Amino acid sequence: MFLICSYRRTLPRQPDSRPLQNLMPALLLHDLPFEIIPLEARMLLCSTPAGFPSPAADDIEEPIDLGTWLIEQPAASYVMRVDGTSMAGAGINDGDLIVVSRAKKPRPGHIVVALVHGDRTLKRLKRAGDRLWLIAEAEGYGETIVDENVEIWGVVVGLARRY
């Protein structure tokens, strides 16, 4: 099975069922069956000029399997689709696919998927003094202190985007 996640905007609730003050997206998990089929693309190990055309036939290297390249530890990794703009400042946009590793230890500065009162959110983990915080990378989103109501679920280790 391949686990695909998507965000939905929701207003998380405190333990006494009152809505929290900040609006955070939550992840929805969807199991999708698939067969692992290597998908190779030719990789050019050179720079590409953005000005005049350049013949590149001499620069073709070994093919690359993008799945293997993006996902180092498949048994502990998930691919999730982002829905929302709270991490646009970190280069993670609405519709992007992120690779999340549960094997990598989260550290301040990492972008993480966290459970906040049971709802998933994507934020940067930061340290301020002796406390850890979940911080959005866009204006208009609240900060969340990492306490007993927060579980760091995984660390973002890859990103895929279609243009």
Average pLDDT for 149-158 = 95
Q: Which residues are catalytic?
A: 86, 123
- Is residue 48 a part of any domain in this protein? no
- Is residue 6 a part of any domain in this protein? yes
Q: How many domains does the chain have?
A: 1
Say what the pTM is.
0.66
- For residue 87, the enclosing domain spans 2-40+58-160
Average pLDDT for 27-42 = 50
- Dihedral over alpha carbons 145, 140, 110, 118 (to 10 degrees): 50
- Higher pLDDT: 37 or 68? It is 68
Rounded to a whole number of angstroms, the distance between the first and last alpha carbons of the chain is 27
- Is residue 64 a part of any domain in this protein? yes
Give tens-digit pLDDT for 115-137.
Answer: 999 899 999 999 999 999 999 99
- Is residue 31 a part of any domain in this protein? yes
Report the CATH number that the domain containing residue 27 is assigned in CATH. Answer: 2.10.109.10
Give the pLDDT confidence score for residue 56 in this predicted structure: 57
- Is residue 52 a part of any domain in this protein? no
- Is residue 91 a part of any domain in this protein? yes
